[in-house]
Amino acid sequence: MFGDVSFLDLLQAITDGLLFGATYAIIGTGFALIFGVMHKINLAYAATSIAGAYVSLAFASLIPMPAIVVFLIAAIASGVVGYLIYLTCFRFIPTASPLATLMATVGMLILIDEVIVHETDGMPQPYPALFDNVMIEIGDYGLRGDLLFIFGLSIVATVALVIFLYRTRLGVATRAVAQQPVAAQLCGISVQRTNGTTFIMSGLLGGLAGAMTGAAVGTLSPLLTLPITIKGLIVTVIGGLGSIPGAIIAGLLVGMFENVALALRDVQERDLYVMLLLFLFLAVRPLGIFGKSSSRD
Amino acid sequence: MQFWYGLAQLVGVHTILGLSAYVILQTGQVSMAQAGFLAIGAYVSGMLTTMGGWHIVPALLVGGVTAAVVATIVGFPALRVKGLMFVVATIAFGEAVRLFWFNFTYQVKQGADMVGPVGGEGFKQIRYFPANGWTDLDRALFILGLMAIVMAGVWWLDRSRVGVVLRAVGEDDLAAQSVGVNLTAVKVGAFAISGFIAGIGGSLYSHYTTHIEHLNFGIVLATFAIAYPIVGGLHNVFGTLAAVIFIQGFLVEGLRFLGDWRNLLFGALIVVAMNVSPRGFVSVYRDLSTYWRRRVYSGAIFTVVLIIVGEAAGGEVVAFVDGLLGRSGLQFNHMAWIAFLVVMAVWSWRGLAILIVMIPAGLQRLSGVLRDSLGGSAARRPRRTA
């Protein structure tokens, strides 16, 4: 079954997967953020992040700019798209119709995908690679520079998110709304504005993740949205719904697992093993790593 | 007429798919596994008729039963979770089924060539219908007939005690449990029924397209499956049929002449429709007065008759209209749909509104939303939260 995969190859696969898993961790965190506050899924979320990456690509092709600026533009564009999704799919649909919200986000997913296909004629676009030729080599073992950068950037983004949630007034409001919307409202917090900000925050994260995916894969294509959506959802479930630390750990885990499966088997079967991992978690620990048993309120 | 027979088959298969999702939605679970069950039914029955030389009806049943068995097996772990977790679990299951067929190759020699599914290339030559001399009309009637049977079955299920139990679980599973409903049995049972229905739909699907591949059964199809009952409303089975006709007939087939723009409009229309009518079409229809309901009905029937008469009059009418329209790039089929909308508009402007974005209900809701947000009624009227 394992063929002739040496220990070093396996180690290499694990580290590469772990580093790339950072993008899944960020996407999972975005899903968890929205779920934590609104108790709803935003299926258009991965499409938001890819849309942000495309906008940054458009800017980058107009004016040459350093990588970090490209990433920032992606984040900001995704934040804007995230807010638009809040307005179109969440703001005016009653809380009592969760299915309508779900369906509307699917509509947005299709819409964003199709806008991208329309603008690019469905052709995959090359994404500017970062530190393409930077390799930290230790004998046969190497670390890809761009993956290291991605990993570092996602740590920075996560720290920024934690600071936002725990050190700012808006963050306190966000956590209050997540915990108990009615009580938050009674304290004078505008639930709708807080929800909107949450979408912007998760959009910013998503844009980073989209740009990171683009940089790591090397191309951007509308075909990326569905796999990222599915992986993001799987990460959210494995980590435990609405749990940010869970999403981070599960993201790294899924990235690693996927890459090991790729090294041991082949690319056709890779995702099958990720699904099996999810089923294993559902059977053994249905609430995920950090999931709390939901109370009835 | 060819076009309408094709459309009828498409609507039949998709309505069965939508009804399979309808059953499980009644228990309050959003299942994205329907495309997976469809794939199981499609491949299994396709293999039975093509490689085993079976008749279509037993193959259909075996396809359905296989999907139901898989649904039962998967249902036990998957239904331990609910809500979002269940959505993700079923997405994963659907993808796993798709990837299974992606890696599955099994062929037998038949005459001069090999038949059977070949991994990524898919399963070609499911030629039961052409091989047995079924005409387009035969197929359309067969598929529509099965659709009617399934619809009647689900309609009966809805009105029986079973339906009451399903909806009780859907409304509040804890309350249902406290009056003695066995949640696991009900949920897994509903999942199995929905698997069976989807399996039958899949069998029809593979036989009418004659060529299936794993890509047909992706997450998009799963989304369509749950979109039909959600857009149509969960009040009764006819909403699902209406939504299939609206989505497949109008949005997908009718707007084909828009080319690239159609897909853009498609996503946007879903968003708009969900905003103005979160409870589905049927609820809007229910809100209409009897007077307007009659007009919607008669408008629809009149248009269908018009189309049938126009087509039955033979190729001349179609050719004449196509000749007139030649320069604009439109065709008779598009014109028939536009005529449908115009007739609906003339006979009842509200009927048109229902078909497109349900404007009156939307305005009503919009004014409600505006009143809420402008008047700050949130403070005055304490809202119940889930």
Whether the predicted pLDDT of B123 surpasses 80: yes
Closest CA to B280 of B235, B247, B237, B232: B232
Burial class (CB in 10 A: 0-12, 13-18, 19+), A269: middle
On whether any CB of chain A is under 8 Å from the CB of B363, the answer is: no
The answer to whether position A245 is within a domain reads no
- Residue B231, CB half-sphere, CA atoms under 13 Å: how many? 32
Q: Contact A199/A83 with Cβ under 8 angstroms?
A: yes
Distances (CA, A) of A106 to A33, B94, B220, B275: 19, 17, 9, 13
Mean pLDDT of B66-88: 84
Q: Which residues contact B24 (CB under 8 A, 6 or more apart)?
A: B31, B190, B191, B194
What is d(CA A99, CA B54) in angstroms, rounded to the nearest whole number?
Answer: 41
Percent of the residues in chain A that have a pLDDT greater than 70, as a whole number: 94
The residue in chain B having the minimum alpha-carbon distance to the alpha carbon of residue A234 is: B88
Q: Which residues of B touch A233 (CB under 8 A)?
A: 87-88, 91
pLDDT in the model for residue A263: 82
The residue type found at A84 is: L
- Site of tokens 């899944």: A24
Q: Which of A103, A251, A85 is nearest to B281 (CA)?
A: A103
Q: Does a structural domain hold residue A4?
A: no
Closest approach of A129 to chain B, Cα-based (Å): 30
Burial of A89 (0-12, 13-18, 19+ CB in 10 A): buried
Residues of chain B with pLDDT > 70: what percent?
71
3-state secondary structure at position B212: strand
DSSP secondary structure code for residue B385 in this structure: -
Q: Which domain holds residue A171?
A: 22-224
- B132 contacts chain A (CB < 8 A): no
pLDDT computed for residue B360 by the predictor:
43
Domain residue extents for chain B: 2-236, 288-380
- Bridge-partner residues for A89, per DSSP? none
For B47, the token pair is 């293999």
**Segment 259-298 of chain B within 8 Å of chain A by CB:** 260-261, 263-264, 266-271, 274-275, 278-279
Instruction: Please state which of the ranges A35-44, B8-17, B197-206, B243-252 shows the lowest mean pLDDT.
Output: B243-252
Which residues from B are below 8 Å from A31, CB to CB? none
Q: Looking up tokens 């439109």, which residue turns up?
A: B330
From the number of C-beta atoms within 10 Å of its C-beta (0-12, 13-18, 19+), residue B291 rates as exposed
Q: Which helix (H) or strand (E) holds B150?
A: helix B136-159
Beta carbons within 10 angstroms of residue A272's beta carbon: 19
Rounded distance between C-alpha atoms, residue B235 and residue B361, angstroms? 17
**pLDDT number for residue A52:** 93
* Two structure tokens written together for B21: 């999702």
pLDDT the model gives residue B119 = 78
Burial (CB count <10 Å: 0-12, 13-18, 19+), residue B302 = middle
Residue in chain A closest to B269 (alpha carbons) equals: A107
Q: Is the pLDDT of residue A168 over 80?
A: yes
How far is the alpha carbon of B98 from chain A, nearest alpha carbon, in Å?
A: 9
The CA–CA distances, whole Å, from A297 to A98, A191, B40 equal 17, 18, 39
Q: A100 and B266: CB-CB below 8 Å?
A: no
* The pLDDT of residue B82: 74
Position A265 scores a pLDDT of 78
Residues B65 and B61: their CA atoms lie apart, in Å, by: 6
| Cα separation values, B223 from B30, B40, B127, Å | 10, 17, 28
pLDDT band at A251 (very low <50, low <70, confident <90, very high): very high
ipTM over 0.90: no
The Cα B181–Cα A135 span in angstroms is 61
SS3 call for B240: helix
Spacing of C-alpha B238 from chain mean position: 11
* A-chain residues near B231 (CB < 8 A): 103
**Rounded average pLDDT over A36-51:** 89
- On the question of pLDDT at A38 being above 50, the answer is yes
**Confidence grade of residue A132 (pLDDT, cut at 50, 70, 90):** low
Residues 62-91 of chain A with CB under 8 A from chain B are 88-89
Contact between residue B143 and residue B205 where contact means Cβ atoms under 8 Å apart: no
* Cα distances (Å, whole numbers) of residue B111 to A193, B103, B108, B115, B147: 69, 25, 10, 9, 34
Where does the pLDDT of residue B214 fall: very low under 50, low under 70, confident under 90, or very high at 90 and above? Answer: confident
Please tell me whether residue B171 adopts helix, strand or coil conformation: helix
- Measured CA to CA, the distance from residue B185 to residue B183 in angstroms comes to 6
Kindly write down the DSSP assignment for every residue of chain A, as one continuous string.
Answer: --TT--HHHHHHHHHHHHHHHHHHHHHHHHHHHHHHHHS---TTHHHHHHHHHHHHHHHHHHS---HHHHHHHHHHHHHHHHHHHIIIIIISS-TT-HHHHHHHHHHHHHHHHHHHHHHHTT--EE-PPSSTT-EEEETTEEEEHHHHHHHHHHHHHHHHHHHHHHHSHHHHHHHHHHH-HHHHHHTT--HHHHHHHHHHHHHHHHHHHHHHHHHHHSEE-GGGHHHHHHHHHHHHHHH-TT-HHHHHHHHHHHHHHHHHHHHHS-HHHHHHHHHHHHHHHHHH-TT-SSPPPPPP-
What the block records as the tokens of A127 is 């994404």
What are the tokens at B9?
């088959």
The two beta strands, B117-118 and B122-123, are antiparallel
CB contact under 8 A, B279 and A272: no
How many domains, chain A?
Answer: 1
Residues A21-40, mean pLDDT to the nearest whole number? 90
Per-residue confidence (pLDDT) for residue A297, from 0 to 100: 37
- Determine, yes or no, domain membership for A287: no
End-to-end CA distance of chain B: 51
Is residue B358 scored above 50 in pLDDT?
no
Max avg pLDDT among A39-43, A102-106, A200-204, A234-238:
A200-204
Pairwise CA distance, residues A274 & A167, whole Å: 36
Q: B138: pLDDT confidence band, cut at 50, 70 and 90?
A: confident
Least confident of B100-104, B241-245, B372-376: B372-376
Partner residue opposite A103 with nearest CB, options B89, B230, B386: B230
CB contact under 8 A, B77 and A104: no
In a domain, A54, yes or no: yes
Average confidence score pLDDT of chain B: 78
Quick check: helix, strand or coil at residue B1?
coil
Q: Give contacts of A296 with chain B, Cβ < 8 Å.
A: 174
| Interface probe, candidates A37, A86, A92, A292, chain B, greatest B C-beta count within 10 A | A92
Instruction: Burial-class residue A128 by CB neighbours within 10 Å (0-12, 13-18, 19+).
Output: middle
Nearest Cα to B128, choosing from B196, B63, B221?
B63
Percent over 90 (pLDDT), chain B: 22
Contact B119, B106 (CB under 8 A): no
Q: Which residue of chain A has the CA closest to B173? A: A296
Interface contact A110-B103, CB threshold 8 A:
no
Q: What confidence score (pLDDT) does residue B379 get? A: 43
Q: How many CB atoms sit inside 10 A of residue B336's CB?
A: 19
pLDDT at A76: 95
Nearest to B336 by CA among B352, B318, B355, B357: B318
Which residue from B102, B231, B270 is facing A268, i.e. has the nearest CB? Answer: B102
B243-254 per-residue burial string, b: 16 or more CB within 10 A, e: under 16: bbbbbbbbbbbb
The structure tokens 């919009």 sit at B366
- Which residue in A38, A42, A53, A188 sits closest to A104, CA to CA? A42
CB B205 within 8 A of CB B13: yes
Query: What is the bridge-based pairing of β-strands A125-126 and B113-115?
Result: unpaired
Residue B210 DSSP one-character state = S
Nearest residue to A224 (alpha-carbon basis) of A105, A113, A108: A113
- The verdict on a CB contact (< 8 Å) between A118 and B264 is yes
